[in-house]
Amino acid sequence: MVDLKQQMASLMEEVEPEVREVLETGQFIMGPRGKAFESEAAEFLGVQRAVGVASGTDALHLALRAAGVGPGDEVITSPFTFAATAEAILYTGARPVFADVDPHSYNLDPEAVAAAVSKRTRALLPVHLFGQPVDMEALDAVAAKHGLAVIEDCAQSFGAARQGRTTGAWGLAGAFSFFPSKNLGGAGDGGLITTNEEDVADHLLRLRNHGSSRPYFHDELGFNSRLDELQAVVLRAKLKRIRAYNEGRRRVAMAYRRNLASAAVTLPAEVEEGAHVYHQFVLQAENREEIREALQAAEIASAVYYAVPLHRQPAFADAAGGDACPVADRLAERVLALPMFPELSKEDVERISTVVAETARS
């Protein structure tokens, strides 16, 4: 699905001496590189503050805590996402409530969200799925009407913007993941929380560091969740090139679109032209399993994100609220993700497209 080696090889010369320096100085966490990365990321994303943490899951969890979400609260989110989105809600003691998604964007449907609001609703947790920004204007309207906090799951959307505003700059906070295969990927786990609120950022600095604002004084229950210096070295090098990486993904997506224009598949929607950063290229097909087998026979990878929506997962089914999510159920049966990374060649995209086009049937 993704080749991480090419990108890393092209950065080796820049990264190697920096890694050596970190190893020689012995300053592995809470050092100058993590700090520098936070300010460079904040500037790139156009937000006031950015706080590095140990993973995207932690970014969601700590952002929800900083928003005051806790036991007795409900948080409305998408059932068509990675498990971490709902896990983070449960970690706070709150309950995830699943609202259905839009059949075209695969993102939370603002009308379904409005219908899911209850007395207990405290926050909305939209996911910019596969790199496509959520309809934030409509969600913000629901949030404003009911006085709810909005925390954005930006794990798949680094660099994506809607109406020129980056994902992660719309809500109270945005949670990013640097899992190696994400658009901006580290050499291990890492995450980042963005916010325009100084007091939220300062609270997050304490939450990630054992609830402490000065050494060995603990103001509240905190966590151990820092972005380490070696990750910061890799992420700073990649951040300089993220625009080109995302353009590369868009180039691959446009090639898939051209090649598959007349195939019996539903291509992913682009709600706003140019806004999608294609963390994944996910189409829909009636005979998905047949296409997967044909791809496998041609030694081409494919994946299904997500085969079991969260409202049907044993881990969440009991705890979660919300009605049926028929759109998410139908997508789970039809979606198919094709290989996607910036360096994927035109020839490979053509070869993959040919297999899909020849096998797809409506």
Ligand X SMILES: *Cc1c(COP(=O)(O)O)cnc(C)c1O
Q: Which residue ranges make up the site for ligand X (CB under 6 A)?
A: 55-57, 81-82, 84-85, 127, 153, 155-156, 177, 179, 189, 191
**Smallest distance from the beta carbon of 313 to ligand X, in angstroms?**
14
**Residues 187, 172: Cα–Cα separation, whole Å:** 28
Is the separation of the CB atoms in 77 and 89 below 8 Å?
A: yes
Nearer to ligand X (CB atom), residue 60 or residue 352: 60
**Smallest distance from the beta carbon of 217 to ligand X, in angstroms?**
29
**Smallest distance from the beta carbon of 276 to ligand X, in angstroms?**
15
In this chain, which residue has its C-beta nearest to ligand X? 56
Residue 214, token pair as written in the block: 């000065």
Residue of 80, 74, 70 lying closest to 321 (CA atoms): 74
Nearer to ligand X (CB atom), residue 59 or residue 97: 59
**Smallest distance from the beta carbon of 190 to ligand X, in angstroms?**
7
**Smallest distance from the beta carbon of 348 to ligand X, in angstroms?**
24
Distance (Å) of CA 245 to CA 2, 76, 158, 185, 268? 13, 32, 11, 11, 20
